Amino acid sequence: MSEDYSPGDPMRAAQKNMRPVVLGRFYESASVAPAEGGFALLLDGRSARTPAKNKLTFPTSALAELAEREWAARGAAIDPASMPVTRIANSAIDGVAAAMAETRAELAGFAETDLLYYRAGAPEKLVEAEALAFDPVLDWAHETYGVRFILAAGVIHLRQPERSLNAIRVALEAIDEPFALAALHVMTTLTGSVLLALAAFRGALSGAEAWRIAHVGEDFQIGIWGEDEEAMARRAARWREMAAAAAIAEALGR
């Protein structure tokens, strides 16, 4: 996943248990079956397990089927890096489920320094591009949560209204399912914006739309200087995680 996770991140801590090496395929078939607590991923009829040896059980059949497709699509090798839904599921079960409050607190911290608050002062075309991309999301947040935030040119930290920060904390408290919170966490850390992540999580934006908005500044620079091959490869890998998180939110019914 993104390299931007904090040291105390419960999702990253859980994912450290995932084998970083590619394994040989050890099963013939993947399937989904009803199980205690939801729907289990089965490999050759046996319950798949997380790195911490918990059963890989999903709250909805649609979500379990996303993971099933990942496992069914593997060839001769099993590469965890190419299975973002499973990676997020492992994090939800092994990490977030036991650290819901900590995960919410980390997400709430993004509301204090959200990407959408800090704008370029120049050039004019970038200023306009950011306004066109960011302002509708802030309007959505105001309509949905009643919040207003202070905007600034540059990166000087501004203290945001406590009333608005509290409203975001309340919104996060309402998300009480580990898979949902794990998906929101991924979208937040990858975009640098809990507001973008909430908009995507709630279906006000698609995952692709949220991703595009988060990269307005980067895309502007690419338009001037061109693409860097390594940077674009890293971005493509992060996008796969973002797309998986958005798909999980949709499979949960938000």
Condensed to tens digits (0 to 9), the pLDDT of residues 156-194 reads 888 999 999 999 999 999 999 999 999 999 999 999 999
CA distance 175 to 181: 6
Mean pLDDT within 67-74: 95
3-state class (DSSP) for residue 43: strand
Q: Which residues neighbour 20 within 8 Å (Cβ) at sequence distance 6 or greater?
A: 80
Mean pLDDT within 131-141: 98
What percentage of the chain has pLDDT greater than the value 90?
A: 83
Yes or no: is domain 100-251 CATH 3.90.550.10? no
Convert the pLDDT of each residue in 79-124 to its tens digit.
888 999 999 999 999 999 999 999 999 999 999 999 999 999 999 9
Task: For residue 106, give the nearest of 5, 183, 215 by alpha carbon.
Answer: 5
Rg (CA), the chain: 19
DSSP states along 156-187:
---PPPHHHHHHHHHHHHT---HHHHHHHHHH
pTM exceeds 0.85: yes
Which ranges in the chain belong to alpha helices (H)? 10-15, 61-72, 84-94, 100-110, 124-145, 162-173, 178-191, 194-201, 207-214, 216-225, 229-251
Written as six digits, the tokens of 11 are 């999702």
Mean pLDDT within 28-38: 96
Mean pLDDT within 238-243: 97
Share the mean pLDDT of the chain.
Answer: 91
Mean pLDDT within 144-155: 94
Domain 10-98 sits in which CATH superfamily? Answer: ATP12-like (3.30.2180.10)
∠ at Cα 239 (237, 244), nearest 5°?
105
pLDDT over 90 at 17, yes or no: no
Supply the pLDDT for residue 69: 97
Q: Are 210 and 191 in contact (CB under 8 A)?
A: yes
Q: What sign has the CA pseudo-torsion 105, 106, 107, 112?
A: positive
Mean pLDDT within 240-245: 98
**Residue 67 amino acid letter:** A
β partners of residue 55: 49
The structural domains of the chain, with segments of one domain joined by +, span 10-98, 100-251
pLDDT over 80 at 225, yes or no: yes
Supply the pLDDT for residue 154: 82
Supply the pLDDT for residue 157: 85
